[in-house]
Structure 1
Amino acid sequence: MTSIPRDELNRTTCPIVETIKIIGTEARLLVLRYLFDGPKGFNQLLRDTGLSSKTLSSTLKFMEDVGIVERRIVSTRPFKVEYILTDKGKELETIFKVMGQWGEKWVLEKVKIP
């Protein structure tokens, strides 16, 4: 694995910093986690994530704007919308798996997260 020079981490164009800006909130992480399993409707995401309607709505809008989630109209009568990951969003799953493995090894067993 190639390491990133320290001076790169201090720049505003650092790819790691820019990625964290896109996925780095708890709400976004939760939405991504559930969308990795496949398309979901708004109400299903609301139940799965435990987020408020307002938070989920703004989170999904942001994720659409940055191109990692797509909103699709499934039917008009009754009106039904589902959210699906774009190819760009699907590529984040690898990052999540590695973060999960790291968390299981170093965080969950040793520290109680508040």
Structure 2
Amino acid sequence: MVARKSLKQDYCPSARALDVIGDWWSLLIVRDAFDGLTRFGEFQKSLGIAKNILTERLRRLTESGILQAVPASEGGARMEYQLTAKGKDLFPVIVALRQFGELHLFSPEEEHSMLLERATGQPIRLEVCTQDGQPIGPDETVILKVQEPE
């Protein structure tokens, strides 16, 4: 198996983020954590993931500060995994993936889960905006790249 290249020192913020959260299992674990799952067994049952893979992903997410392991509320040796403030900052990422899936991966009549505002029951919509709140798309943006040393 080829070793995965680390992107921890990359100049691109997207690359560094993917170094931490860039595989589907990690994103699905974070999604489930937003849905209230906290226990190893809950994640395993929800995802159908092998124990060794789940163990590794939870370890990486914990080491990177996305999740924290805390003693289970009923005591004992069991641990629960909770999103940290850093982990909660992934909420727009999960919402953006949902919106992409809703728009492109379901037929109009096909049922799917929905993300709703708890207080009103209204659907959630994520929009990319400029600093002054104006909607903006990819054609109106440019990336200012860092010049790598030679």
Q: Which residue, 52, 59, 78 being the options, matches 1:54?
A: 52
SS of alignment partner, residue 84 of structure 1: strand
Corresponding residue number in structure 1 for 2:85: 87
Corresponding residue number in structure 1 for 2:22: 24
Change (3 A) 1:58 1:64: same
Distance 1:56 1:12 in 2: 26
Q: Deviations over 1:22-42 (max 9, x none)?
A: 111111011011000225111
Q: TM-score, normalised by structure 2?
A: 0.60
Higher relative contact order (CA 8 A, sep 6+): 1
Give how far 1:12 is off. 2.1
Identity over aligned pairs, percent: 29
Answer yes or no: is 1:34 the counterpart of 2:24.
Answer: no
Q: Give the structure with the larger helix fraction.
A: 1
Change (3 A) 1:58 1:100: same
Give how far 1:99 is off. 1.9
Q: Give the structure with the larger strand fraction.
A: 1
- Mapping of residues 6-17 of structure 1, within 5 Å: 12-17=10-15
SS of alignment partner, residue 78 of structure 2: strand
Alignment length, in residue pairs?
97
Distance 1:55 1:87 in 2: 24
Give how far 1:86 is off. 0.3
Q: TM-score, normalised by structure 1?
A: 0.77
Where do 4+ consecutive residues of structure 1 move more than 2 Å? none
